[in-house]
């Protein structure tokens, strides 16, 4: 079923043939089993209208995927129960003519159990395309129809068992494939289950308990200790510690107070709070995560698109090969009709590129599911494949390699200014700025219980500093370059400034009325895992670069401590993109890692953009990969996962290709003249199903890489 297909009335999808279902309301808020509400007859009709495009990517919803799996499972067991006596009666002696009994037993297998292949073939031909269902339908139909003809002619030689066994084996293969992929679907459902079914809202001054699906934007929701948060929102009253680990991966509860955001699915661990709902249903962070993973799983990697094109041609080769095989054996070599038909049908069946069609989708499904489990969100299959190609990676310093929470370490004043006075002036101006360094100053002002002054004529000088009028004084705050540009003499404080820079600290010079007044030094602590992450990436052969707006000396000290040789410093926000392009111009497949609005152009420019932590919406929208935690090691985990997934894709494609190249000639009878070996259609079906299962199992074995992700 395809999401883009809509209809005002019931019917089937014109692309894949699956039954159209009523548009789901808000499945992020509840978990319903719609099959229980249907009558037996309704479920039977739906079963008969379900079909498979056989590309294994058409399951739009989790519920529909589950229904499809159950339907195939049921059809398999019915087919198996009927196939056992069909095979038994074929190879034992009976006191009566067995052919009509075999016909009676095979007919429900063909029309009911095999209907999904027949109907899918009809839809494919109607759409003027060929898929794997066509081959299966040709195989079971040829065996069934020729068996009826031979029965009517009075012959005891039939293919009833071949038609039945082919249907049974193929159904089993597809059931196993869908079962192997269900783990990731169940994981997504587990995410949805984080959302509580009810919410405690305040309406008209009264507390009401309503279904989470009934919550509206603007509702005030009361959360008590131990409650799960139903939707996204902003705290309006109270403070607490919120456990967001199941959503973001951060293990330590996050302190929340007035104005802070809360995420649906997280758990309130301590105090009572009230918050206003800002995002509901499919707009919540949790729903977006699930949507991103689903999109990734249903997208096609570049390698799969090639395989799909090859598979279509293989369908033509298989059908054409079957006809040629029959003509050669029957008309050219003059062999019996039964032998010629055996080779022809076997050729069509065994050539079914089912394993080829499964080669990459199964690996992608497992890979993206593993990523989501470890809070690594990969937006689509091409990205999953391309992350493995990264040769160079540019890391934004603030928020990526460092905590992004700078603290004031030193305040030095001259020219009769006082420390608190400088703080008040600097804080008053920086309060108008959104720069991370301004937060450090404001925190210090709050700590010292100082007051902010009225500010006029505020001006932000991009990448260099800010200025404004405070108490009729012109206050300028910024870099050494800014002071030099404004002809302000910094020699009186130069010695102290150089000492602070040599210690790896970031400095903000303050000038009042064009005279240097002091310097404030801040330091952003490097994350504990940054050095290890850089070392591991370099061990993988990646060139690691750091980019920052910090002065050259501070940047070089941090880079040296982390083992990063290539450091881009004093970079203006709008220049970050140019440095990424510089790496690309050197012929390197480049990734950019950042978390802020100013990183968005660079993330878009990079071959792979990676947003780290609870970054801005702009950064997340621009990035190809979103790391929910603020852990640099997750960059490494994403690369390891991508390389492992691509390796499984290649293994599956190689196996599927070799299987088809070797199996078709054998099925066509090339070994018969020399060795007397024939491959009956039912055994061809078995081999084809085994090949598909091998591919699915190999993809599932990708889960072993999880050991490497726990670094």
Q: What pLDDT, on the 0 to 100 scale, is given for residue 1?
A: 37
Q: What average pLDDT does the chain have? A: 80
Q: Which of 103, 170, 46, 36 is nearest to 690 (CA)?
A: 170
The structure tokens listed for 574 are 């709008």
pLDDT exceeds 80 at position 609: yes
CA distances to 400, 476, 586 from 570, in Å: 17, 19, 21
Q: Which of 650, 626, 58, 61 is nearest to 371 (CA)?
A: 626
Among 95-99, 243-247, 456-460, 674-678, the least confident range: 243-247
Q: What pLDDT, on the 0 to 100 scale, is given for residue 4?
A: 42
Catalytic residues: 396
DSSP string, 505-536: -EEEEEEETTEEEEEEEEE-PBPTTHHHHHHH
pLDDT exceeds 60 at position 133: yes
Instruction: Return the percentage of the chain with pLDDT > 90, whole number.
Output: 26
**If DSSP codes are grouped into helix, strand and coil, which group holds residue 154?**
coil
- Confirm if 627 and 612 have CB atoms less than 8 A apart: yes
Q: What pLDDT, on the 0 to 100 scale, is given for residue 100?
A: 92
Task: Name which residue leads in pLDDT, 637 or 399.
Answer: 637
Q: What is the mean pLDDT of residues 158-181?
A: 79
Instruction: Work out the pLDDT band at 183, boundaries 50, 70, 90.
Output: low
pLDDT in tens, 243-285: 876 665 555 677 888 888 888 888 888 888 999 999 988 888 7
Exposed, middle or buried by CB within 10 Å (0-12, 13-18, 19+), for 329? buried
Among 23-27, 343-347, 472-476, 623-627, the least confident range: 23-27
Q: Measured on CA atoms in the order 88, 91, 95, 100, is the torsion positive or negative?
A: positive
Q: Which among 31-45, 65-79, 163-177 has the top mean pLDDT? A: 65-79
Q: What is the mean pLDDT of residues 563-572?
A: 91
Q: What pLDDT, on the 0 to 100 scale, is given for residue 25?
A: 34
Dihedral in degrees, nearest 10, Cα atoms 487, 493, 499, 505:
-60
In degrees, rounded to 5, the angle at the alpha carbon of residue 658 between the alpha carbons of residues 654 and 663 is 150
The structure tokens listed for 639 are 């690369």
Instruction: Work out the pLDDT band at 184, boundaries 50, 70, 90.
Output: low
CA distances to 399, 406, 503, 554 from 559, in Å: 15, 17, 13, 9
- Confirm if 307 and 126 have CB atoms less than 8 A apart: no
Half-sphere exposure of 558 (CA within 13 A, CB side): 32
Q: What's the CA gap between 101 and 329, in Å, rounded?
A: 30
Among 351-365, 408-422, 639-653, the least confident range: 351-365
Instruction: Work out the pLDDT band at 301, boundaries 50, 70, 90.
Output: low
Supply the Cα-derived Rg of the chain in whole angstroms: 33
Q: What pLDDT, on the 0 to 100 scale, is given for residue 614?
A: 54
Please provide the size of the chain in residues: 711
pLDDT exceeds 70 at position 678: yes
Task: Name which residue leads in pLDDT, 536 or 306.
Answer: 536
Q: What pLDDT, on the 0 to 100 scale, is given for residue 108?
A: 96
Task: Name which residue leads in pLDDT, 324 or 138.
Answer: 324
**If DSSP codes are grouped into helix, strand and coil, which group holds residue 407?**
strand
pLDDT exceeds 70 at position 354: no
pLDDT in tens, 524-567: 888 889 999 999 999 999 999 999 887 788 888 889 999 999 99
Q: What pLDDT, on the 0 to 100 scale, is given for residue 285?
A: 75
Q: What's the CA gap between 110 and 168, in Å, rounded?
A: 10
The structure tokens listed for 90 are 């074929």
Q: What's the CA gap between 482 and 94, in Å, rounded?
A: 101
- Residue whose entry in the numeric block shows the structure tokens 């309406």: 203
DSSP string, 344-399: HHHHHHHT-THHHHHHHHHHHHHHHHHHHHTTEEE--HHHHHHGGG--EEEEEIII
pLDDT exceeds 60 at position 420: yes
Q: What pLDDT, on the 0 to 100 scale, is given for residue 436?
A: 66
Is pTM beyond 0.85? Reply is: no
Among 121-130, 302-311, 532-541, 566-575, the least confident range: 302-311
- Helices 354-373 and 160-192 pack at an angle, to 10 degrees, of 20
In degrees, rounded to 5, the angle at the alpha carbon of residue 138 between the alpha carbons of residues 692 and 56 is 35
Q: Which of 438, 439, 435, 472 is nearest to 455 (CA)?
A: 472
Instruction: Work out the pLDDT band at 84, boundaries 50, 70, 90.
Output: very high
Among 101-105, 302-306, 416-420, 548-552, the least confident range: 302-306
Pairing of strands 273-279, 232-238: antiparallel
Exposed, middle or buried by CB within 10 Å (0-12, 13-18, 19+), for 276? middle
Among 95-99, 479-483, 631-635, 665-669, the least confident range: 95-99
């Amino acid at each position: 079923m395809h999401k883009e297909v809509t209809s005002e009335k019931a019917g089937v999808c014109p692309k894949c043939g699956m039954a159209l279902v009523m548009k789901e309301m808000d499945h992020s808020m509840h978990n319903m089993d719609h099959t229980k509400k249907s009558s037996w007859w309704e479920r039977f009709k739906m079963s008969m209208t379900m079909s498979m495009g056989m590309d294994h990517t058409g399951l739009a919803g989790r519920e529909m995927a589950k229904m499809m799996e159950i339907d195939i499972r049921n059809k398999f067991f019915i087919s198996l129960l009927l196939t056992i006596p069909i095979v038994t009666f074929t190879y034992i002696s009976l006191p009566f003519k067995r052919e009509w009994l075999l016909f009676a037993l095979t007919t429900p297998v063909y029309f009911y159990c095999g209907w999904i292949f027949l109907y899918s073939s009809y839809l494919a031909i109607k759409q003027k395309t060929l898929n794997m269902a066509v081959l299966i339908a040709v195989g079971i139909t040829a065996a069934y129809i020729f068996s009826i003809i031979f029965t009517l002619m009075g012959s005891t030689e039939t293919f009833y068992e071949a038609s039945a066994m082919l249907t049974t084996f193929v159904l089993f293969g597809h059931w196993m494939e869908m079962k192997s992929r269900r783990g990731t679907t169940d994981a997504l459902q587990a995410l949805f289950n984080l959302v509580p079914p009810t919410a405690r809202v305040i309406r008209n001054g009264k507390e009401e308990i309503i279904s989470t699906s009934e919550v509206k934007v603007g509702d005030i929701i009361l959360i008590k200790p131990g409650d799960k948060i139903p939707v996204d929102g902003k705290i309006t009253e109270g403070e607490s510690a919120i456990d967001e680990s199941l959503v973001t991966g951060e293990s330590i509860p996050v302190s929340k107070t007035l104005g802070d955001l809360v995420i649906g699915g997280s758990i309130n661990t301590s105090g009572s709070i009230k918050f206003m709902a800002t995002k509901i249903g499919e707009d919540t962070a949790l729903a977006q995560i699930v949507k991103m993973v689903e999109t990734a799983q249903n997208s096609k990697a570049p390698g799969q698109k090639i395989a799909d094109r090859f598979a279509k041609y293989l369908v033509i080769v298989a059908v054409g090969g079957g006809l040629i095989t029959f003509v050669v054996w029957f008309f050219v070599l003059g062999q019996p009709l039964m032998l010629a038909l055996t080779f022809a049908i076997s050729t069509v069946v065994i050539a079914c590129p089912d394993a080829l069609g499964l080669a990459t989708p199964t690996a992608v499904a497992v890979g993206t599911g593993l990523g989501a489990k470890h809070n690594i969100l990969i937006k689509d299959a091409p990205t999953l494949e391309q992350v493995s190609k990264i040769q160079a990676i540019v890391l934004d310093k603030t928020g990526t390699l460092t905590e992004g929470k700078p603290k004031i370490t030193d305040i030095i004043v001259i020219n009769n200014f006082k420390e608190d006075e400088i703080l008040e002036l600097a804080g008053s101006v920086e309060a108008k700025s959104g720069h991370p360094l301004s937060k450090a100053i404001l925190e210090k002002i709050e700590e010292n219980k100082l007051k902010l002054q009225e500010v006029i004529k505020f001006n932000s000088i991009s990448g260099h500093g800010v200025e404004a009028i405070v108490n009729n004084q012109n206050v300028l705050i910024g870099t050494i370059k800014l002071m030099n540009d404004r002809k302000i003499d910094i020699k009186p404080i130069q010695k102290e400034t150089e000492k602070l820079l040599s210690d790896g600290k970031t400095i903000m010079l303050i000038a009042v009325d064009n005279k240097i007044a002091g310097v404030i030094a801040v330091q952003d602590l490097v994350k504990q895992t940054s050095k290890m992450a850089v070392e591991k990436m370099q061990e993988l052969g990646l060139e690691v670069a750091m980019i920052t707006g910090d002065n050259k000396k501070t940047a070089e000290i941090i880079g040296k401590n982390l083992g990063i040789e290539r450091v881009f410093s004093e970079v203006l926000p709008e220049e970050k993109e140019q440095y990424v392009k510089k790496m690309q111009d050197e012929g390197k497949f480049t990734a950019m890692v950042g978390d802020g609005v100013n990183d968005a152009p660079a993330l878009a420019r990079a071959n792979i953009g990676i947003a780290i932590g609870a970054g801005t919406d702009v950064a997340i929208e621009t990035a190809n990969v979103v790391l929910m935690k603020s852990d640099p090691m997750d960059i490494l985990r994403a690369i390891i996962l991508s390389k492992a997934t691509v390796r499984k894709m290649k293994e599956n494609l190689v196996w599927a290709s070799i299987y088809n190249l070797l199996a078709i000639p054998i099925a066509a009878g090339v070994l018969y003249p020399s060795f007397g070996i024939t491959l009956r259609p039912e055994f061809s079906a078995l081999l084809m199903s085994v090949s598909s299962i091998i591919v699915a199992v190999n993809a599932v074995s990708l889960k072993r890489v999880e050991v490497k992700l726990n670094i």
